[in-house]
Amino acid sequence: MSRATVLACLVSTSVLALTVATASPAQAAGVDYVALGDSYSSGVGAPGQSGTCLRSNYSYAAQWAAKNSPTTFQFLACSGAVTDDVVKTQVPAMSSAADLISITIGGNDAGFASTVLTCLTGSDTTCTAKVNAGKTYVATTLPGKLDSTYAAIKAKAPGAKVVVLSYPNIFDTSAVICEMSSTKRKALNSGAQVLDDMIKSRVAAAGFTFSDVRDNFSGHGVCAAKPYLNGLTIIPPQNSYHPNSSGYTNGYLPALTSAA
């Protein structure tokens, strides 16, 4: 597969499936758990992805369900999802009796895939300009999108505890050799910080719980000695710049566990 094909695959489309995974009746009584969100919640980057939503049993959501045996588990997170997809497709499909809801959302709204593509193929200047455009969107448009999404979740399941997880900083900026320049890596990490800080503020306004994964991923970015995220990946290309199994197990799972 050519580099061009790999890069093109980074620009994801929002195709949602309504497949619902339900825990078996033999499981102990507990919470009714719903996993919403985008590829960072569906498990892209880990082995065993399936269906149009690319869900994996190595995702933090599936791992939490396996360890905690909730009464029911609805796995609705979908690769490529934006806030509108959560409101229009995922929230209507979830149970109003949910006790616990987790979600990552906002990265695709802010242009994650196209920004990474620009930084891979363009100059430092072009990359920085693209990241700055994303920051402007995060400051001006994304807050309303997040507020509407959180309001829809609250309206559908008013009794649920909602845990909103952050995104990690993607790159190790100390590595001498890496697939992107230091300038590009710092710019992309800066964009992630701005995105996470905005998500945190809107989560607080909604009265939900914000769980920050950035410390868990610190020192484990792309190009680190023990990365928790995939770099540019040839097969399958969608794994590029998503958590690997270690990232979901050691980065995201503890963040959900501590907040649930």
Catalytic residue among 42, 181, 242, 246: 242
Both tokens of 252, joined, read 């995201």
Q: Is 39 one of the annotated active-site residues of the chain? A: yes
Q: How far apart are the first and last CA of the chain?
A: 41
Q: Is 242 one of the annotated active-site residues of the chain? A: yes
Please give the Cα distance from 153 to 162 (Å, whole number). 8
Query: In a 3-state reduction of DSSP, which class is residue 215?
Result: helix
| Mean pLDDT on 89-103 | 97
Catalytic residue among 12, 39, 41, 79: 39
- % residues pLDDT > 90 (the chain): 88
Write out the H or E segment, with its range, that includes residue 102: strand 100-104
Confidence of residue 6 (pLDDT cuts 50, 70, 90): very low
- pLDDT at residue 29, as a whole number: 53
The overall average pLDDT reported for the chain is 91
Write the class of the CATH domain 3-255. Answer: alpha beta
